[in-house]
Amino acid sequence: MGEPNPDLVALVERAIALAEQTASTQEAIVSTQTKLSAQQRRLRIFARWLGGSLAADIALSTTLIFLVSHQATLTNSIHDSQVAACAIGNQSRAAQVEVLDHLISGSKGPPGETPVQRDARLRAIAAARSYVDSHFKPVDCTALYSGQ
């Protein structure tokens, strides 16, 4: 047999070198692909957690908005009830003043009252009226419950 053809030997050596280079490139591709697959799995898990977190945030925000609006309605109802109760109190005080005025104005001096006794009685009546006016005066309900 003769000597191998040098061109053929060079071609075979080149083919072997290319095969080795292709194998190492393929190994690098497989390694990179494995890393990318693991990274994609982590990203999918993260995206699921992020989506769940976003859904929870929306649900909590909606609940918070509902609770705040309900609290505002409740606060307004309480305020209206306070003002109404205060007005009822004013009506009750006005009725009490009428009764007390009737009682005070109906007081008459005893028979044979002296002018000094009459002056003392009138001063006592004036003091009683002053007391009633100061302690049974109406309350400004709007100012009282305005929150200022």
Tens digits of pLDDT across the chain (148 residues):
568 788 888 888 999 999 999 999 999 999 999 999 999 999 999 999 999 999 999 999 999 999 999 999 999 999 999 999 999 999 999 999 999 888 888 778 888 889 999 899 889 889 988 998 888 899 898 888 886 5
pTM of the predicted model, to two decimals? 0.55
Residue 6 in tokens: 């040098």
Closest by CA to 104, choosing from 78, 84, 130, is 130
Block residue for tokens 């005893």: 110
Residues 83, 145: contact at Cβ < 8 Å?
A: yes
Distinct helix (H) and strand (E) counts, the chain: 3, 0
